[in-house]
Protein backbone atom coordinates (compact mmCIF):
# COMPACT_ATOMS: atom_id res chain seq x y z
CA UNK A 1 0.00 0.00 0.00
CA UNK A 2 2.89 2.32 0.80
CA UNK A 3 4.23 1.97 -2.74
CA UNK A 4 0.89 3.04 -4.20
CA UNK A 5 0.84 6.13 -1.99
CA UNK A 6 4.42 6.98 -2.99
CA UNK A 7 3.59 6.62 -6.68
CA UNK A 8 0.54 8.84 -6.29
CA UNK A 9 2.60 11.44 -4.45
CA UNK A 10 5.27 11.40 -7.18
CA UNK A 11 2.61 11.83 -9.88
CA UNK A 12 1.07 14.70 -7.93
CA UNK A 13 4.48 16.34 -7.61
CA UNK A 14 5.01 16.02 -11.35
CA UNK A 15 1.58 17.56 -12.02
CA UNK A 16 2.36 20.43 -9.65
CA UNK A 17 5.65 21.04 -11.44
CA UNK A 18 3.92 20.97 -14.83
CA UNK A 19 1.24 23.43 -13.70
CA UNK A 20 3.93 25.70 -12.28
CA UNK A 21 5.93 25.73 -15.53
CA UNK A 22 2.76 26.37 -17.58
CA UNK A 23 1.85 29.25 -15.24
CA UNK A 24 -1.56 27.82 -14.24
CA UNK A 25 -1.53 29.76 -10.96
CA UNK A 26 -5.08 29.07 -9.74
CA UNK A 27 -5.02 25.39 -10.68
CA UNK A 28 -1.54 25.08 -9.21
CA UNK A 29 -2.55 26.56 -5.87
CA UNK A 30 -5.78 24.57 -5.59
CA UNK A 31 -4.20 21.28 -6.64
CA UNK A 32 -1.27 21.80 -4.25
CA UNK A 33 -3.69 22.43 -1.41
CA UNK A 34 -5.94 19.47 -2.27
CA UNK A 35 -2.95 17.12 -2.47
CA UNK A 36 -1.64 18.37 0.86
CA UNK A 37 1.71 19.16 -0.72
CA UNK A 38 3.91 22.20 -0.44
CA UNK A 39 4.94 24.39 -3.36
CA UNK A 40 8.51 23.34 -2.64
CA UNK A 41 7.49 19.70 -3.30
CA UNK A 42 7.31 20.35 -7.05
CA UNK A 43 9.79 18.20 -8.93
CA UNK A 44 12.23 19.49 -11.47
CA UNK A 45 13.04 18.30 -14.94
CA UNK A 46 9.57 18.29 -16.44
CA UNK A 47 8.89 14.66 -15.50
CA UNK A 48 5.25 14.65 -16.56
CA UNK A 49 6.00 15.56 -20.18
CA UNK A 50 8.92 13.12 -20.30
CA UNK A 51 6.74 10.26 -19.02
CA UNK A 52 3.95 11.14 -21.42
CA UNK A 53 6.41 11.26 -24.32
CA UNK A 54 7.73 7.84 -23.33
CA UNK A 55 4.21 6.41 -23.24
CA UNK A 56 3.48 7.77 -26.71
CA UNK A 57 6.73 6.28 -28.07
CA UNK A 58 6.00 2.90 -26.51
CA UNK A 59 2.44 2.93 -27.85
CA UNK A 60 3.80 3.67 -31.33
CA UNK A 61 6.26 0.76 -31.05
CA UNK A 62 3.47 -1.50 -29.82
CA UNK A 63 1.29 -0.56 -32.79
CA UNK A 64 4.17 -1.21 -35.18
CA UNK A 65 4.79 -4.63 -33.61
CA UNK A 66 1.11 -5.52 -33.82
CA UNK A 67 1.07 -4.57 -37.52
CA UNK A 68 4.23 -6.61 -38.10
CA UNK A 69 2.72 -9.64 -36.34
CA UNK A 70 -0.47 -9.29 -38.37
CA UNK A 71 1.56 -9.24 -41.58
CA UNK A 72 3.55 -12.29 -40.50
CA UNK A 73 0.36 -14.18 -39.71
CA UNK A 74 -1.07 -13.30 -43.13
CA UNK A 75 2.14 -14.43 -44.82
CA UNK A 76 2.11 -17.64 -42.81
CA UNK A 77 -1.48 -18.39 -43.78
CA UNK A 78 -0.63 -17.82 -47.47
CA UNK A 79 2.33 -20.18 -47.27
CA UNK A 80 0.17 -23.10 -46.15
CA UNK A 81 2.28 -26.11 -45.23
CA UNK A 82 -0.44 -28.73 -45.20
CA UNK A 83 -1.80 -29.36 -41.70
CA UNK A 84 1.07 -27.66 -39.85
CA UNK A 85 -0.08 -24.10 -40.59
CA UNK A 86 -2.81 -24.09 -37.95
CA UNK A 87 -0.36 -25.15 -35.23
CA UNK A 88 2.12 -22.48 -36.32
CA UNK A 89 -0.59 -19.81 -36.24
CA UNK A 90 -1.76 -21.00 -32.81
CA UNK A 91 1.79 -20.81 -31.43
CA UNK A 92 2.24 -17.43 -33.08
CA UNK A 93 -0.95 -16.17 -31.43
CA UNK A 94 0.19 -17.36 -28.01
CA UNK A 95 3.57 -15.70 -28.42
CA UNK A 96 1.92 -12.51 -29.65
CA UNK A 97 -0.33 -12.37 -26.58
CA UNK A 98 2.66 -12.85 -24.27
CA UNK A 99 4.63 -10.13 -26.06
CA UNK A 100 1.74 -7.64 -26.03
CA UNK A 101 1.12 -8.33 -22.34
CA UNK A 102 4.77 -7.75 -21.45
CA UNK A 103 4.90 -4.51 -23.48
CA UNK A 104 1.63 -3.25 -22.02
CA UNK A 105 2.89 -3.78 -18.48
CA UNK A 106 5.84 -1.53 -19.28
CA UNK A 107 3.61 1.41 -20.16
CA UNK A 108 1.28 1.24 -17.17
CA UNK A 109 1.62 3.75 -14.36
CA UNK A 110 0.54 1.38 -11.58
> Residue 3 — pLDDT band, cuts 50, 70, 90?
confident
pLDDT at 47: 79
Show Cβ contacts of residue 67 under 8 Å, excluding neighbours closer than 6 positions: none
- The domain limits of the chain are 2-41, 53-106
pLDDT digits (tens, 9 = 90+) for 50-83: 888 899 999 999 999 999 999 888 887 777 655 4
Look up the pTM and report it: 0.52
CB count within 10 Å of CB 9 equals: 14
Quote the pLDDT of residue 66: 92
Say how far apart CA 5 and CA 14 lie, in whole Å.
14
By the 8 A CB rule, do 4 and 30 touch? no
What pLDDT does residue 107 have? 64
pLDDT in the model for residue 110? 46
Distance CA 64, CA 7 (A): 30
Amino acid sequence: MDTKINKEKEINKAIIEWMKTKNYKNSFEIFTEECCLQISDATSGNQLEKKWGTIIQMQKKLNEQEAYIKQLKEDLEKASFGGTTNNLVKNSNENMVKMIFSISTLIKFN
